[in-house]
Structure 1
């Protein structure tokens, strides 16, 4: 099945991606671009999830002890 792009600006983008990525044709260029975009979006969701877990852990630890003395603590190590 061939790829037919009706919008001239989208077609120009596909041709530019094809040239820069050295894809054999526009269809392959669009496939690669879409795969890369999906991967990027999935990584972004994973980052949000990792941040959420870190925030939950920090919240579970609770607030800092205002009487904690870091110098004394490190001297005792």
Structure 2
């Protein structure tokens, strides 16, 4: 089934991709469309990506120490 691109800007983008990759225009269109389909399929909502990251990188348990000015001064060597 033929595909006609009537938009000059789109045709120029396809030609540019084909030239940069050493492809035919048909292969450039196939590559671009497949990449977009893959990207869309693999995209996860931010909430889910953050949940997975938090599971892989949990917060350390609470130490019970008070994080006040004196604590940070001591960390930076400014405490007395």
* TM-score class normalised by the smaller sequence: 0.5 to 0.7
In the alignment, structure 1 segments of 5+ residues that lack a partner are: 68-77
Which of the two has greater helix per residue?
A: 1
Aligned length: 64
**TM-score scaled by length of structure 1:** 0.57
Structure with max Cα Rg: 2
1:18–1:29 Cα contact (<8 Å) kept: yes
**3-12 or 44-53: which moved more?**
44-53
Alpha-carbon RMSD: 3.1
In the alignment, structure 2 segments of 5+ residues that lack a partner are: 66-80
Distance, in Å, in 1 between the alignment partners of 2:7 and 2:20 is 20
1:22-41 equivalence runs, <5 A: 22-24=22-24, 26-41=25-40
**TM-score scaled by length of structure 2:** 0.55
Considering Cα pairs closer than 8 Å and 6+ residues apart, tell me whether 1 or 2 has the greater RCO: 1
Q: 1:27 to 1:3 in 2, by over 3 A?
A: farther
